Structure 1
């Protein structure tokens, strides 16, 4: 059985990460309209509301409602947004940033 060198393993991991990041971009001609919903009451003190996100499922974007979570120390939540590209609109997912 042949084993991979360290370079081969690193190249394989980098390639799979590149391909998985490319596969996550789905484009639509027009960005969907965000549904109107009522934010529920916070379940505990200092709960942080993470806004809803768009996810690509079944050949279309569907809206996933927001949720409460505990704030993360020394981090700020950056809300997701629509990005216009020459191929159409794509959703950039929200994330926690230092």
Structure 2
């Protein structure tokens, strides 16, 4: 009888080790790095006006990555105003919207002084 139980010990040990290993590996999950967050996920212009007391820096030169899918268009990055300073919003690829064209962001002098952010959305 001891010989029969002794024969099952390696199998039990392997089973326990496999279950324990699988339980450990469930904690090995690689979460994707979050991308840039945009206020309007669909990119349609809103009536919100952004004012800044100082002119934005010159735009960064961005290297466009390879096309992620056929027909994608590159939306250039721009300087946004947030938290009393300019913050760079990186460029990205988007699917074209049927019947719309992309209007890039731009900074214009404000009639009330300072600078005003214009555009940045799909226009008919």
Give me the TM-score of the superposition, normalised by structure 1. 0.68
Q: Please identify which structure carries the higher strand content.
A: 1
2:120 to 73, 86, 94: 94
Which structure would you say has the larger Rg? Answer: 2
Q: Which residue of 1 aligns with 2:104?
A: 79
1:53-72 matches, within 5 Å, as 53-72=78-97
2:55 to 25, 30, 40: 30
Aligned length in residues: 77
Runs of 4+ in 1 over 6 A off after TM superposition: none
Q: CA deviation at 1:40?
A: 0.8
Give me the TM-score of the superposition, normalised by structure 2. 0.55
Q: 1:40 and 1:53, CA in 2 relative to 1: closer, same or farther beyond 3 A?
A: same
Q: Does the 8 A contact of 1:53 with 1:93 survive in 2?
A: no
